[in-house]
């Protein structure tokens, strides 16, 4: 796979780790170094067949790896048709979260919580962060999608795993000691569970999968912004939803304890609870790993030994979450990144600056320019503009 991918990489990509090649990349964008290592390690100099590009693109799209195809250094070598095909796949599988501010309520376990609870409760702007435009998967990663990663040898491709976790990767096995999520058997998901979100995976497995498809895990702020869809009317007026559908909980719109299924359901169910941006099951069904670290107070035994386990934040609640207020856009929990729980899955994110943008694309695809737009242009008007038009309208 990596050999074939390399066939459509531009020549400079061979030396992209050199300083000169980095200048070729767009500002504040970088190719994942781990992924790059994987490409380099498997690189061979054999020349590709002329019609190999199309089949490769098809294969990558079948593996839900359109994000890789849209990396600037790859996309510029695709024909317009193939590029459009990849872009369509991206738009179908991911929803865009526009640039803007989001208010992050600190977790009760966070050191910031004390300040939030006492001194700064009347100054919520101190807990507001800016999120750049980002794509998030419309659906949680399913067993079927993860199966492709397992089949492609994702657990053996050490370059996409964090180095500190290498010794533990061998231990990430299923019930029959095959590489794969904890509840699988013989390296396969159980029959009838293809469209269920993959669970029983550690944070590191989620990160490795995300890298394999050319994406990453969303940060906590990105996740909250996707769900609560905040609107800043003025510097003092900030509207933000509690749930993706509004401010009142509705058991018909999210799968938590007390909702009828009482088990994990397919990723496309509970469609009424989708966010404004068209993201499904942000609330309920399974918790979602995020890239953010939850810095709790050290454990007593850890304090003595001088180390501590940093938890990774999980968001959204699961099918067995008991309290409604723990399954909303503001509540965050944490989990040991190495634990493989029955109710934690993930969805991937992709920074908009990590994908190629062509001048003739609709505005939604050029959302990195949104933050530079004049204030009087409201987001709903932007849909009628093309990227070129907006860029022309932008102040110099």
Partner 1 sequence: MTNAVLPLDSYRLAQYAVQVPCYICEQGNAFDAELCRHCQAPMALARQVHMQKILPQMIATVGSSGVGKTVYLGMLLDMLSRMPDQIQIVARGAFSVTLQQNVMQSLARCEFPAKTPNEPDRWNWVHCQVRHPKVKDPFELIMPDVAGEALLEEVEHPFSYLAIRSFLMKCGGAMILVDTTCLDSGKRAQDYFTLKLLTYLSELDNDEKTSWQNRPVALVFSKADQCEDCFDDPQIYAQRHTAALWQFCRERFRRHKFFAAGVAGGTAMRTAPGVGRVRAPLRIEPRGIIEPFTWIVGQVMAKSQQPTGWTIKRQK
Nearest to 31 by CA among 215, 208, 204: 215
Count of alpha carbons within 13 angstroms of residue 341, beta-carbon side: 20
Measure the CA–CA gap between 385 and 396, rounded to whole angstroms. Answer: 18
> Quick one: which segment of 215-223, 241-249, 269-277, 293-301 binds partner 1 (CB under 8 A)?
293-301
Span from 86-94, 226-234, 275-283, 313-321 in contact with partner 1 (CB under 8 A): 313-321
Q: Site for partner 1 (CB under 8 A): which residue of 326, 338, 364, 386?
A: 326
Cβ 213 to partner 1 shortest distance, Å = 27
Q: Rounded to an integer, what distance in angstroms lies between the CA atom of residue 352 and that of residue 367? A: 7
Binding mask 25-54 for partner 1 (x = CB under 8 A): ------------------------------
- The per-residue DSSP string of 239-263 comes to E--SBTTBSS--TTSSB-BTBTT-S
The sign one gets for the Cα dihedral 89, 91, 93, 94 is: positive
Select the residue interacting with partner 1 from 80, 300, 374, 395 (CB under 8 A).
300
The H or E element containing residue 313 is strand 311-315
Binding mask 133-152 for partner 1 (x = CB under 8 A): --------------------
Question: In Å, how far are 141, 169, 274, 386 from 194, measured between CA atoms?
Answer: 10, 24, 21, 38
Strand-strand pairing, 311-315 and 349-351? unpaired
311's CB contacts (< 8 A; 6+ apart) are 109, 293, 294, 296, 334, 335, 336, 337
Q: Is the dihedral of CA 201, 207, 212, 214 positive or negative?
A: positive
Q: If binding is defined by CB under 8 A, does position 117 make contact with partner 1?
A: yes
Backbone dihedral angles phi then psi of residue 103, each to the nearest 5 degrees: -90, 125
Cβ(77)–Cβ(10) below 8 Å: yes
> Beta 287-294 vs 344-345: how paired, if at all?
parallel
Which of 59, 88, 325, 389 is in the footprint of partner 1 by CB under 8 A? Answer: 325
- Choice from 30, 62, 79, 108 touching partner 1 (CB under 8 A): 108
- Residues in binding contact with partner 1, number by CB under 8 A: 34
Under the criterion CB under 8 A, does residue 299 sit at the interface with partner 1? yes
Among residue numbers 54 through 73, which ones bind partner 1 (CB under 8 A)?
none
- Residues 335-374, one symbol each (x = binds partner 1 by CB under 8 A, - = not), give xx--xxxxx-------------------------------
The Cα 243–Cα 53 span in angstroms is 43
Among positions 114, 185, 190, 263, the unique one binding partner 1 when judged by CB under 8 A = 114
Short-list 268, 252, 245, CA closest to 197: 268
Q: How far is the CB of 249 from partner 1 (least distance, A)?
A: 14
Residues in the chain: 396
d(CA 209, CA 147): 10
Residue 326 or 386 with smaller CB distance to partner 1: 326
Nearer to partner 1, 64 or 242 (CB): 242
Shortest Cβ 308–partner 1 spacing (Å): 9
State which residue, 157 or 324, has the beta carbon closest to partner 1. 324
Q: Of 10-18, 153-161, 232-240, 296-304, which part binds partner 1 (CB under 8 A)? A: 296-304
Does 240 engage in binding with partner 1 (CB under 8 A)? no
Among 2, 43, 109, 127, binds partner 1 (CB under 8 A): 109
**Residue 307 touches partner 1, criterion: CB under 8 A:** no
Identify which of residues 112 and 268 has a Cβ nearer to partner 1 in the complex: 112
> Of the listed pieces 185-193, 277-285, 310-318, 385-393, which binds partner 1 according to CB under 8 A?
310-318
Residues 197/142, Cβ–Cβ less than 8 Å: yes
Closest separation between CB of residue 258 and partner 1, Å? Answer: 7
Q: Which residues bind partner 1 (CB under 8 A)?
A: 108-109, 113-114, 117-118, 182, 257-258, 294, 296-300, 311, 317-318, 320-323, 325-326, 331, 333-336, 339-343
């Amino acid at each position: 796979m990596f050999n074939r991918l390399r066939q459509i990489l531009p020549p400079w990509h061979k030396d992209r780790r050199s300083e000169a090649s980095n200048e070729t990349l767009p500002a504040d964008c970088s190719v994942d170094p781990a992924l790059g290592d994987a490409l380099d390690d498997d690189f061979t100099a054999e020349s590709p067949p002329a019609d190999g590009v199309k089949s490769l693109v098809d294969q990558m799209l079948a593996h839900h790896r359109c994000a890789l195809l849209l990396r600037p250094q790859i996309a510029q070598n695709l024909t317009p048709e193939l590029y459009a095909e990849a872009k369509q796949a991206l738009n179908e599988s991911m929803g865009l979260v526009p640039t803007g501010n989001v208010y992050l309520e600190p977790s009760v376990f966070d050191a910031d919580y004390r300040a939030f609870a006492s001194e700064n409760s009347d100054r919520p702007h101190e807990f507001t962060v800016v999120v750049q435009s980002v794509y998030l998967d419309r659906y949680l990663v399913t067993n079927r999608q993860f199966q492709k990663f397992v089949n492609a040898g994702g657990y053996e491709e050490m370059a996409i795993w964090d180095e500190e976790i290498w010794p533990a990767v061998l231990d990430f096995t299923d019930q029959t000691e095959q590489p794969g999520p904890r509840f699988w058997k013989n390296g396969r998901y159980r029959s009838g569970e293809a469209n269920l979100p993959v669970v029983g995976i550690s944070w590191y497995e989620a990160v490795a999968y995300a890298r394999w498809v050319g994406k990453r895990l969303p940060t906590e702020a990105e996740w909250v912004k996707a769900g609560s869809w905040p609107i800043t009317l003025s510097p003092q007026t900030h509207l933000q939803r509690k749930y993706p559908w509004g401010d009142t909980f509705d058991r018909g719109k999210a799968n938590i304890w007390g909702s009828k299924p009482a088990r994990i359901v397919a990723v496309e169910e509970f469609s009424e609870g989708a966010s404004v941006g068209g993201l499904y099951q942000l609330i309920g069904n399974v918790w979602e790993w995020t890239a953010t670290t939850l810095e709790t107070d050290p454990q007593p035994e850890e304090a003595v030994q001088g180390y501590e386990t940093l938890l990774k934040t999980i968001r959204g609640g699961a099918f067995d979450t008991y309290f409604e207020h723990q399954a909303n856009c503001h509540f965050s929990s944490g989990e040991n990144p190495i634990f493989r729980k029955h109710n934690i899955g993930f969805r991937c994110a992709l920074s908009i600056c990590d994908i190629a943008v062509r001048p003739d694309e609709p505005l939604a695809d050029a959302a990195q320019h949104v933050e530079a737009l004049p204030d009087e242009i409201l987001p709903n008007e932007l849909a009628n503009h093309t990227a070129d038009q907006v860029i022309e309208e932008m102040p110099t």
